[in-house]
């Protein structure tokens, strides 16, 4: 789409088209928004170290994840309220992925529903499973995911509670995953269900029940590869590997779960050091540029998942806008690999990175200086 020569144009178009409440829901994070800003600061604190005098005439950015061929080391992250940005929701994203040749992690909350997405395209799909304490429901859901033809399941472990996203509370926006009842009323309902034996009494907190027992059950029931999403430290990465996770998915929910967490790329290095040679590792959280992707690959990640960039693209131009975004990111990766002096992703290592000071104040839009200047915030 010639109307979008840069990613900055896509972000600006999304801002123009979205209602303010929807823009804030998409762009920002929970409480003080420290985690979402640290995601960007951590990326901006890594400098690329190029090598010169090399033949970079034949660059290949293809890779694979769980045996799926990826045209570039990028997948689409799960976005629950994706229909806020495009009426076709996850189906629009999946069709863009099918045409481009990467993979899409479909949120369990995403419209038009995971089965409709699978029926409407031939993309490489992974289902994002949000844990529930109802075993019959879980077993039935897993069976449906398998029957729908999903290639793997991403077990979402970092969001046991729906976080306090103050911009959303102030605007009153209703999203797909958000509980419509007041939080205190919801807690009261859970107490009643626990007293009635519907929730396992051994679970201490009144949040969603997320345990290794449930992870093990989903893995056994599905017989599919399992990605554990929400790992942010070496200790959990080691446990995940011990429980048979096929992919460690480093994620702080894009800064939309716990506040005052580390930036994802900081957690990535620790996780890679702990288990990087034993299983594949992917990451999300503030990654919006081709250079961001190369930093993650240099640290040892297999691929990067993008949520906000995917959503801005759909808001800006629907499926075609997302296709254009993927094409720009691909070009950024190729160009910057050439400038780094490498031809293949497996040539990248930490020798191509150096710690540095960010040049701008951390912000969800600090990778887009022109857009940030025009939008403000």
Residues with catalytic function: 253
CA–CA separation, 186 and 181 (whole Å): 6
Q: Would you say 186 and 208 are in contact if contact means Cβ atoms under 8 Å apart?
A: no
Alpha helix positions (H), the chain: 7-17, 20-27, 34-44, 89-100, 114-120, 135-147, 166-171, 183-195, 212-222, 234-242, 264-275, 290-299, 308-340, 369-375
In 10 A of CB 277, how many CB atoms?
9
CA–CA separation, 303 and 354 (whole Å): 20
Q: How far is CA 225 from the centre of its chain?
A: 18
CA–CA separation, 330 and 293 (whole Å): 10
In this structure, the chain runs to a length of 377
Q: Would you say 120 and 89 are in contact if contact means Cβ atoms under 8 Å apart?
A: no
């Amino acid at each position: 789409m010639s109307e979008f020569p840069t990613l900055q144009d896509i972000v600006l178009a999304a801002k123009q088209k979205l209602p303010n409440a929807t823009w804030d829901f998409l762009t920002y994070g929970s409480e003080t928004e420290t985690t979402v800003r640290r995601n960007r600061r951590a990326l901006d604190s890594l400098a690329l170290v190029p090598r010169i005098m090399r033949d970079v005439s034949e660059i290949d950015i293809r890779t694979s994840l769980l045996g799926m061929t990826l045209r570039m080391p990028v997948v689409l992250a799960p976005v629950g309220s994706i229909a806020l940005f495009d009426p076709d929701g996850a189906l629009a994203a999946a069709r863009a992925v099918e045409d481009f040749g990467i993979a899409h992690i479909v949120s369990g909350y995403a419209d038009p529903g995971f089965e409709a997405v699978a029926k409407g395209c031939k993309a490489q799909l992974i289902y994002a499973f949000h844990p529930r304490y109802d075993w019959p429901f879980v077993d039935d859901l897993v069976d449906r995911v398998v029957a729908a033809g999903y290639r793997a399941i991403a077990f979402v472990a970092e969001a046991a509670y729906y976080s306090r996203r103050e911009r959303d509370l102030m605007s009153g926006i209703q999203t797909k995953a958000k509980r419509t009842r007041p939080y205190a009323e919801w807690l009261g309902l859970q107490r009643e269900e626990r007293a009635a034996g519907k929730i396992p009494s051994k679970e201490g907190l009144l949040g969603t029940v997320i345990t290794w027992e449930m992870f093990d059950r989903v893995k056994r029931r599905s017989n599919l590869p399992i990605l554990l999403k929400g790992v942010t430290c070496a200790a959990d990465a080691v446990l995940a590997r011990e429980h048979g996770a096929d992919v460690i998915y480093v994620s702080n929910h894009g800064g939309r779960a716990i506040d005052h967490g580390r930036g994802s790329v900081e957690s990535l290095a620790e996780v890679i050091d702990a288990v990087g040679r034993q299983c594949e590792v992917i990451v999300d959280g503030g990654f919006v540029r081709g250079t961001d992707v190369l930093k993650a690959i240099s640290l040892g990640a297999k691929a990067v998942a993008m949520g906000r960039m995917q959503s801005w693209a759909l808001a800006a131009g629907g499926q075609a806008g997302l296709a254009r975004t993927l094409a720009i990111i691909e070009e950024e990766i190729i160009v910057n690999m050439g400038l780094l002096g490498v031809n293949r992703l497996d040539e990248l290592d930490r020798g191509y990175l150096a710690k540095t000071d960010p040049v701008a104040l951390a912000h969800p839009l600090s990778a887009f200086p022109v857009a940030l200047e025009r939008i403000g915030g």
